[in-house]
Amino acid sequence: MKSGLLIIVLAIVFICSATSHAVEKKCEFCHAGHNGTGGLLKSDINELCLDCHQERAAKGEHKVGMVPSMPVNGMPLSDGKITCATCHNPHSKAKFMLRKPADQICRECHKM
């Protein structure tokens, strides 16, 4: 495993073991009214996440808004780009809303 990627994986595992998942919000916090006809977001998914998690942008977190340079296995993209929701499911009750366990999620895109 490359040392830089190992540091990223260890940082994610540390962060995930030291904090808890986000507080639940009402649907209208992120979604515009739609009368049950779709899941329209009020703004860009990354902007919505950073409204509550501003500290994440300043900590050198994984970049969002970029096209991955390798195949992304089973992780959602938006217009072919990585978003916060690529790794986090905002509707999940799982710890940190991660789509997969912390020790597996990086390996979906990064070969170690």
Q: What is the pTM of this model?
A: 0.68
- The CA distance from 53 to 63, in Å, is 14
Distances (CA, A) of 40 to 26, 44, 53, 82, 93: 14, 10, 21, 19, 21
Strand partners, 81: 78
What does the pLDDT look like over 4-49, one tens digit per residue? 554 554 445 444 444 444 456 778 788 887 665 556 888 888 888 8
The pLDDT of residue 100 is above 60: yes
Letter for the amino acid at 17?
S
* pLDDT at residue number 34: 65
Q: Which is more confidently placed, 106 or 79?
A: 79
Report CA torsion sign: 39, 43, 45, 51.
Answer: negative
- The CA distance from 104 to 98, in Å, is 10
Q: Which is more confidently placed, 24 or 68?
A: 68
